[in-house]
Amino acid sequence: AQTVTQSQPEMSVQEAETVTLSCTYDTSESDYYLFWYKQPPSRQMILVIRQEAYKQQNATENRFSVNFQKAAKSFSLKISDSQLGDAAMYFCAYRNYNQGGKLIFGQGTELSVKP
C-alpha cells in the first residue's frame, strides 16, 4: 500500500526568508502524481503545486517550487520570499491511476511565518 510521510509536524520561517517542507512516499507504481495542498484556518483545501512522476523537470508556481527525487521517493516543497499569508497547514499527497485514483495524504506540516 502507498504511504506518504511528512516528518516535520511544525516549521517556522521568518518573513521574506525561504523554507523547505519535506515529504517522502512509498509506492511500487511508476506513474503517479504528487501534490502539495495548503489548508489555512478557514479549512479550505487549496492546491499549491503538482508534479507528474513522468516529468523530470521540477514544478514551479511563482514562489513555490518542488524538489522531486523519484529514485529517493522524495518530494519537498520550497517556499521563497515567505509571506504572512503562507502560514497554514501544508499537506503532501500522492495519487495514481489504480484504486480509484484516491489521494493519499501525509500527516501535515504546520507552517508559521514570523514578521
Distance CA 74, CA 86 (A): 22
Q: Are strands 88-96 and 109-114 parallel, antiparallel or unpaired?
A: antiparallel
Minimum gap (Å) between residue 9 Cβ and another protein? 8
Closest separation between CB of residue 45 and another protein, Å?
Answer: 4
Shorter beta-carbon distance to another protein: residue 51 or 82 = 51
- Choose between 11 and 45: whose C-beta lies nearer to another protein: 45
Q: Which residues bind another protein (CB under 8 A)?
A: 6, 33, 35, 43-45, 47, 50, 52, 91, 95, 97, 100-108
Q: What cell numbers appear for 86 in the block?
A: 503562507
Q: What's the rounded Cα separation, in Å, for the pair 108 and 10?
A: 9
